[in-house]
Amino acid sequence: MTTATQPDHTVLGLETSCDETAASVVRRHADGRVEVLSSVIASQVAEHAPFGGVVPEIAARAHVESIDSIAARAMAEAGLGYGDLTGVAATAGPGLVGGVMVGLSFGKAVALARGLPLVAVNHLEGHAVSARLGADLPYRFLLLLVSGGHCQLLDVAGVGACRRLGSTIDDAAGEAFDKIAKTLGLPYPGGPALEKLAEGGDPARFPLPRMLLGRKDCDFSFSGLKTAAARIAEGLTSEVDRRDLAAAVQAAIASQLAEKSDRALQIYAREHQGRDLRFVVAGGVAANRLVRARLTETAAARGFSFHAPPLAYCTDNAAMIALAGAERLALGLTDPLDAPARPRWPLDAAAAAASPTHVPGRKGAKA
Ligand code: KG4
Ligand code: ZN
C-alpha cells in the first residue's frame, strides 16, 4: 500500500461483478461532501433472461464487449478527461470472477497508462457506503446488507472496519425472492417482478414458516420458506392465488429482515449507548417498498435514524465503487497493480472464518 495526498478525489469507478457493466465518476471533496458526476449502467438482463438467471460466461463476454464504451460514456457525461482523475477504483470481488477480472483489468490499464493510483474495491464495501451517495451520513452505523448474493448485519465503524453481527445460513434474501419468483412463473430478476405481482394481494391467506425466529441470534434463513412456497405454488390455478402467494412471500421475507434487524439494533444500542444510533439498509432488496417500510418502523421503535440509498444506488452500480475508492484514497489506501480478482472476499474475515454461514464452498467463506 502507498499513500496519496490530494485533498479532493475524483475517481472513476468500475463495476463488473455480476450482470451489470457500470462506470461512474464521483468527486469526494476534502470536507467529505460527495458529488456523483456520472453513473452509467448497462444491464445484461435481456441476455440472461432466456436462462432464468445469470450465466457467468455470458456475463463475462458482455462485460468485455461494453466496458470500453461504458467507461468512455461515464467520462463524457462527467465532462472530464482521464487527466482530471485522481484515482481509479474497480470491484475486485466478491462475485463472478470472469466478470470481476474484466473491470479490474480495465481499471489497472487506466491506472498504468495515466499514472493513477488503483483501489481494488470490495463490492460489499461499495454497498456499505452507498447510502453516503445520497445524504450526509457519518460513520458509525448498523448496516443490513441485502442483495442477491448477500444477507448480513454489520457494525460499520468506518472504511474497512466492519464487524458481522449476523448472516444468512443458506440463501440470501434476494436469492429467495428470485427463486420463489421463478416457481411463480415470473421472469428474472424475480424481486421486482414479485413485488409487482404482490400488489393488492392478501398476505395472510397462505401460512408460511417463520424461519429461525425462535433463535436469539441475528442469523437469517430462507430455504424453508422457498420450499414451502414452491409446494403451495404447485397447486395454484388462478391469478388471484398467485398474487396472494406473492404477497405472503414478500411479507414473510420483510418480517424476517425486520425481526433479525431488531435483535441487531438492540445489541448495537447496548454497545454504543449515548451515541447517535443510525440504521442503514443497502443492496438490491432495499429497493422493495414493504421491506423499507418494515425496517423504517423497526428503526424508529428502537430510537434509530433510518437511511437507505436512493433507489438507483440500491442495485449494483459503479458510483458506490467510486465512492468506496475515494474514501480509501482519502485515507491513503491504494493497491498494487497485481491486486487479485477474488471470487470470495468477506468484509469481516475473522467472523467468516470462524462461522462460514453462507455457502462456504471450496474457496472459503463467501460472506
Ligand atoms: O445489489 P444487487 O443489484 O446485486 C447483488 O449484489 O446481488 O441485488 C440484486 C437482488 C436480486 O436478487 C433482485 O431480485 C433483488 O436484489 N431486488 C429486489 C427488488 N429489486 C431488486 N428484491 C425485492 N424487491 C425489489 N424491488
Ligand atoms: Zn451488489
Q: Return the ligand number nearest the Cα of 41.
A: 1
Kindly report whether the peptide bond that precedes residue 209 is cis, defined as omega within 30 degrees of 0.
no
Q: If 0-12 CB within 10 Å is exposed, 13-18 middle and 19+ buried, where does residue 29 land? A: middle
Q: Return the ligand number nearest the Cα of 281.
A: 1
Q: Return the ligand number nearest the Cα of 246.
A: 1
Measured CA to CA, the distance from residue 14 to residue 67 in angstroms comes to 9
15 lines ligand 1 (CB under 6 A): no
For 312-367, how does the pLDDT look when each residue is reduced to its tens digit (9 = 90+)?
Answer: 999 999 999 999 999 999 999 999 999 999 999 988 888 888 876 654 444 444 44
- Could you identify the atom of ligand 1 that is nearest to the CA of residue 172? 12
Cα 291 to middle of ligand 2, angstroms:
17
For 141-152, how does the pLDDT look when each residue is reduced to its tens digit (9 = 90+)?
Answer: 999 999 999 999
Cα 336 to middle of ligand 1, angstroms:
32
For 103-136, how does the pLDDT look when each residue is reduced to its tens digit (9 = 90+)?
Answer: 999 999 999 999 999 999 999 999 999 999 989 9
Residue 202: pLDDT band (50, 70, 90) is very high
126 lines ligand 1 (CB under 6 A): no
Question: Could you tell me where in the chain the CATH 3.30.420.40 domains are found?
Answer: 9-134+313-354, 141-308
Q: What is the mean pLDDT of residues 163-175?
A: 95
Q: If 0-12 CB within 10 Å is exposed, 13-18 middle and 19+ buried, where does residue 241 land? A: middle
Q: Is the predicted pLDDT of residue 184 greater than 80, yes or no?
A: yes
91 lines ligand 1 (CB under 6 A): no
**Any idea which of 94-108, 154-168, 249-263, 346-360 has the lowest mean pLDDT?**
346-360
148 lines ligand 1 (CB under 6 A): yes
Measured CA to CA, the distance from residue 256 to residue 177 in angstroms comes to 13
Mean of all residue pLDDT scores within the chain: 92
313 lines ligand 1 (CB under 6 A): no
Measured CA to CA, the distance from residue 278 to residue 293 in angstroms comes to 16
* pLDDT value, residue 337: 98
Residues 146 and 172: beta-carbon distance below 8 Å: yes
* pLDDT value, residue 5: 46
For 60-110, how does the pLDDT look when each residue is reduced to its tens digit (9 = 90+)?
Answer: 999 999 999 999 999 999 999 999 999 999 999 999 999 999 999 999 999
* pLDDT value, residue 360: 42
122 lines ligand 1 (CB under 6 A): no
Whether the pTM exceeds 0.85: the reply is yes
For 276-295, how does the pLDDT look when each residue is reduced to its tens digit (9 = 90+)?
Answer: 999 999 999 999 999 999 99
Top-confidence residue, 2 or 134: 134
**118 grid coordinates:** 488503483
- Domain 141-308 annotated CATH 3.30.420.40: yes
Q: How far is CA 148 from CA 17, 162, 172, 253, in A?
A: 12, 20, 6, 13
CB atoms under 10 Å from CB of 259, counted, come to 16
* pLDDT value, residue 3: 45
- Neighbouring residues of the ion ligand 2, judged by CB less than 5 Å: 147, 316
Cα 286 to middle of ligand 1, angstroms:
8
State which H helix or E strand residue 267 sits in.
Answer: helix 239-271
- Could you identify the atom of ligand 1 that is nearest to the CA of residue 149? 7
Match domain 9-134+313-354 to its CATH number in 3.30.420.40, 2.60.120.200, 1.10.287.110, 3.40.640.10: 3.30.420.40
Cα 238 to middle of ligand 2, angstroms:
34
For 46-65, how does the pLDDT look when each residue is reduced to its tens digit (9 = 90+)?
Answer: 899 888 888 999 999 999 99
